Amino acid sequence: MHPSLAASARSAIPVHAILAKDAKAWLARQKRSGLVTASGFAGAAGALAALPDAKGGIAAWVLGLGESKDAFALAAAAEKLPPGTYRLGEVPEFCAGTHAALAWLMGGYGFHRYKKKNVRSTRLVTPPGVDGEEITRIAENLFLARDLVNTPANDMGPAELEAAVRALAKRHGAKVSVVMGAALTKNYPLVAAVGAGSPRNPRLIELNWAPAGKKTAPLVTLVGKGVCFDSGGLDLKPSAAMLTMKKDMGGAACVLAVAGMAMGAKLNLRLRVLIPAVENSVSGRAMRPGDVFTSRKGLTVEIGNTDAEGRLVLADALADADAQEPDLLIDVATLTGAARVATGMELPPFFTDDAKLADDLMRVGAAAQDPLWRLPLWRGYEDTLTSRVADLNNNPSYNFAGAITAALFLGRFVAKTKSWAHLDIPAWIDRAKPGRPIGGEANGARAIYALLRERYGR
């Protein structure tokens, strides 16, 4: 169990959480709350106050929630309280139980690889009915994904991403294989083309896992975009647009988080993870606008824009995944700015033709407070993918609906799999909230894991 969770409530100090509208009445019911009231505490979001005991010590702490019903608001208490052991007191239902425990762990996250920071030890007694091991599994894999995304590209290239996959596989007894060099050019030509401009060798990383004795369990395949840095290639991005491009491997980080959760829970499934890991750079070897490549599936693709590289590496990986006809196929990618324009940074869109899968993803995502929103795979835009010289162009001849046309491009490489979903995530938090500092995030990871647990739980 995570060290920030405690099993014993002995000497634990209660932490209460109240909405601003309830603060005055709540304080009036408490003993010795005069100092808190005099201090001006009124339940504002993130405000923290100590209720004294009869001896002048601290009887309890109270956290203000403001007017927002944020399920992870208690992370603010973990971030601000002095070292010690705490337990839940009076807490609204929307941020109690499992949400409270996960919020507490999220409040302890920090990325300290390059800048050391004092780490405070605050522990929360695991709330009644909450599985501390499950919460630990979710949090630790979420933090793995955040760390991978937050690591700058000089320390997180294709080789380092491969090392992260191998480390995760070793912990769970999974197998890893990697395709590089001439074999990559032959079998995953679009992946090789995107990575050709970088001195850091591109590769296709594959992880396979199955629980003991479950070799016939349903096959679930996860594909994650692993562009470790995206300069835009010869269609170079503006400098401002490159500042966060270390996050362009966020899809890979997300599926690794899901894989870690699923393997740790020993779900009844055979898991296959495919990560095309590349760096999209500028050099004399880089792919050019107008180049044409033959994909793994055999479809030819004209390069209309070298900055639309993510769909290229995913296309080869999806064609490979589709050939095995998995029970479920999900790809995750930081694919389009259009997705951010459509739904912002906090509500990633997804695409699928499977209505049941769509309903399930939205339902479990809402329950886990990891929301997703379905956008349409509108076939009316299929003709925007055409090319005069090839089967497809990676740069649609249409200035609108960019997230949809990108999803339609990927759909050309999924023909046999009956249940497929594509998530277009930001992999980034741009507005700090309790437990969610600005930086990398595995959007959708908890939702996907909840779906897998529901369908393939022991």
Give catalytic residue positions.
237, 311
Write the single-letter amino acid at 179: V
Sign, CA dihedral 115-119-124-126, equals: positive
| Nearest alpha carbon to residue 343 among 368, 318, 365 | 365
Residues with Cβ within 8 Å of residue 69, at least 6 apart in sequence: 19, 92, 94, 95
Contact 75, 100 (CB under 8 A): no
Contact predicate 351/421, CB 8 Å: yes
The angle that helices 402-411 and 310-323 make with each other, rounded to 10 degrees, is: 40
Nearest-angstrom CA–CA distance, 344 and 145: 20
Distance of alpha carbon 231 from alpha carbon 153, whole angstroms: 11
Adjacency order of strands within the sheet including 292-294: 292-294, 300-302, 392-393
Cα–Cα distance measured from residue 255 to residue 186, given in angstroms and rounded to the nearest whole number:
25
Nearest of 350, 341, 334 to residue 426 by alpha carbon: 334
Q: Judging by DSSP bridges, how do beta strands 122-125 and 5-6 pair with one another?
A: parallel
How far is it, in rounded angstroms, from Cα 168 to Cα 182?
Answer: 27
